[in-house]
Amino acid sequence: MGDPGVGKSFLLIYLTAHITTGQSWPDIGMPIIKGSVIILTAEDGLADTIRIRADAAGADVKKIKILEGVRNEKGNRQYFNLTEDIPALEQAINNTKDIRLICIDPLTAYLGKINSHKSSEVRGVLAPLAGLAEKYKVAIVAITHLNKNTALQAIYRTMGSLSFVAAARAAWAVTTDENDMSKKRRLLIPLKTNLSIDPTSLAFRIIDNRVVFEEFPIDIDVEEALSKEKHEETSALNDAVSWLQEALEDGPMPAAVIHHMRNENHISDATLRRAKEKLGVKSYKEGMAEKGKWIWKL
């Protein structure tokens, strides 16, 4: 899940490319069993987007099946609907013997008329879908979006009912790295998983229409990554750390002078104290009794 434009659909094509060719995952250096992929997409054009991205990612396009819709009783094609067309999806699975993955982008586009905020209705759609996954030993990866309430705990940021996350075996958040000056670095962060213990987060960029992961996993908290307020706090702290280190590089300084300087640089007292702790700055008193001065040094 993630906001629009952060690279969720690119990641689905990345998964598709690796499964159709048997390439290893970025954090596991061994080949995987290759197979075919079924894609349901309401977001992107087939020729001008999906095919271009699949080619850029090195996918075996012969193993990609696009499910655009179903035929009604009159033979006319209609939009795919998970509340009614699970049998058609099962038929597509049976027609694709080596199926390994089904991608749904976005999930909410295929829910028909159900209320996506009502848990019972959401679970009524997801349960048959989960049944297909178990019956045919196939992975189903679905995209959903974040709501705009950045004050909520990360697990409650899914658009619609919490059941979207609760019913999934694993959920991942995709977001931009607010500490990256270029704003092009993306983060893939575990939100919930029943399949592994303490999975790592990964960072990637989108280069020439394809996902390129960084070499090593990263350590980041999902709450911090998705909270705008925490991004701002982190940025302010990093700035304060750099400022304080530069101020003390030439030697110890009186605490009173530092506090005067931090006022001029619009650094709050609380942020300065956190920066002092993070840098391991030592403080001691020079002089006796009331005339003594507190000194800070690296």
Q: What is the pLDDT of residues 29-73, one digit of tens each?
A: 788 899 999 999 887 888 899 999 999 999 999 999 999 888 877
pLDDT score at 298: 92
Question: Which pLDDT band, with edges at 50, 70 and 90, does 291 fall under?
Answer: low
pLDDT score at 105: 92
Per-domain boundaries in the chain: 8-226, 229-297
Do residues 69 and 80 lie in contact, with contact meaning Cβ atoms separated by under 8 Å? yes
Question: What's the whole-number average pLDDT of the chain?
Answer: 88
Tell me the β-bridge partners of 188.
Answer: 174, 202
Residue type for position 175: T
Taking 80 as the threshold, does the pLDDT of residue 149 lie above it?
Answer: no
Would you call 267 exposed, middle or buried from its count of C-beta atoms within 10 A (0-12, 13-18, 19+)?
buried
Tell me whether the omega of the peptide bond preceding residue 31 falls within 30 degrees of 0, making it cis.
no
Do residues 4 and 145 lie in contact, with contact meaning Cβ atoms separated by under 8 Å? yes
Q: Alpha-carbon distance 156 to 146, whole Å?
A: 9
Scored b (16 or more CB within 10 A) or e, 59-89 reads: bbeebbbebeebeeeeeeeeebbbeebeeeb
Q: Alpha-carbon distance 243 to 253, whole Å?
A: 14
pLDDT in tens, 231-280: 556 778 888 899 999 999 989 999 989 988 988 888 888 789 889 988 99
pLDDT score at 29: 75
Do residues 133 and 127 lie in contact, with contact meaning Cβ atoms separated by under 8 Å? no
Taking 90 as the threshold, does the pLDDT of residue 199 lie above it?
Answer: no
Residue of 218 and 91 predicted with greater confidence = 91
Cβ neighbours of 37 (radius 10 Å): 29
pLDDT in tens, 9-32: 999 999 999 999 999 888 887 888
What is this structure's pTM? 0.74
CATH code, 229-297:
1.10.10
What lies within 8 Å, CB to CB, of 32 at 6+ separation is 18, 19, 22, 23, 24, 25
Give the DSSP H or E segment for 253: strand 253-254
Taking 60 as the threshold, does the pLDDT of residue 137 lie above it?
Answer: yes
Q: Which fold has domain 8-226?
A: Rossmann fold (3.40.50)
pLDDT in tens, 200-228: 899 999 999 999 999 888 888 788 778 76
